[in-house]
Structure 1
Amino acid sequence: MNGYWYGPYAYASYQPYAQPAAHGETDQRMQLVLRLILEAISDERHDELFYDYLLSVAPTEKEQQVITGIRDDERKHRRLFRQMYTQLTGQRPPMTGEGEAFQKPASYLDGIEQALMGELKAFEKYRVIYKYIPTQYRDTIFEIMTDEMKHASYYNWLYAKNK
Structure 2
Amino acid sequence: MNPQQQQQDSGQQQSDGQQQALQLSLQLIKQAVAGEREDRLFYDYLISEAPTNDQKLIIASIRDDEKRHNKLFRMIYKDLTGQEVPPENGEEFQKPKTYKDGLVKALFGELAAVEKYRVIRQGLPNTYYRDILFNIITDEIKHSAKYNYLFTLNSTSSAPRSFQQDHRMPQTESLADQWVSYIDPLVKKALQETEEGINLTHLYQEYILSGVLVGQGFTPQQAIEQVEEWEKTGESQLLKKSKVMGNQGR
TM-score under structure 2 normalisation? 0.54
Q: Which secondary structure state, in structure 2, belongs to the residue aligned with residue 22 of structure 1?
A: helix
Aligned residue among 23, 36, 40 for 2:32: 40
Tell me how far 1:45 sits from its aligned partner.
Answer: 5.3
Tell me how far 1:43 sits from its aligned partner.
Answer: 5.5
Q: 1:113 is matched with which residue?
A: 104
Structure 1 CA distance for aligned equivalents of residues 67 and 40 of structure 2: 7
C-alpha distance 71-54 of structure 1, shift in aligned 2 (>3 A) = same
RCO comparison, higher one (Cα < 8 Å, 6+): 1
Letter in 1 for 2:101: D
Letter in 2 for 1:76: R
Tell me how far 1:27 sits from its aligned partner.
Answer: 1.5
Q: Which secondary structure state, in structure 1, belongs to the residue aligned with residue 51 of structure 2?
A: coil
Q: 1:24 is matched with which residue?
A: 16
Aligned residue among 43, 46, 58 for 1:66: 58
Contact 1:54-1:67 within 8 A present in 2 as well: yes
Q: For 1:72-91, what aligned pairs fall within 5 Å after superposition?
A: 72-91=64-83
- Number of positions where the alignment pairs a residue of Structure 1 with one of Structure 2: 144
Tell me how far 1:44 sits from its aligned partner.
Answer: 5.7
Letter in 2 for 1:35: Q
**RMSD after superposition:** 1.9
Q: For 1:144-163, what aligned pairs fall within 5 Å after superposition?
A: 144-163=136-155
Aligned residue among 117, 120, 123 for 1:132: 123
Q: Which secondary structure state, in structure 1, belongs to the residue aligned with residue 137 of structure 2?
A: helix
Contact 1:119-1:148 within 8 A present in 2 as well: yes
- CA distances 1:108-136 after superposition (whole Å, capped 9, x unpaired): 00000000000010011101111121222
Structure 1 CA distance for aligned equivalents of residues 35 and 146 of structure 2: 19
Q: List gaps (5 residues or longer) in structure 2.
A: 1-9, 156-250
C-alpha distance 124-132 of structure 1, shift in aligned 2 (>3 A) = same
Q: Which secondary structure state, in structure 1, belongs to the residue aligned with residue 34 of structure 2?
A: helix
Stretches of 4+ aligned residues off by more than 2 angstroms = 43-49
Structure 1 CA distance for aligned equivalents of residues 38 and 22 of structure 2: 24
Q: 2:214 is matched with which residue?
A: none
Tell me how far 1:97 sits from its aligned partner.
Answer: 2.5
Q: List gaps (5 residues or longer) in structure 1.
A: 1-18
Identity, in percent, stands at: 49
Structure 2 CA distance for aligned equivalents of residues 149 and 45 of structure 1: 23
Aligned residue among 82, 95, 110 for 1:104: 95
Q: Point out the structure with max Rg over C-alpha.
A: 2
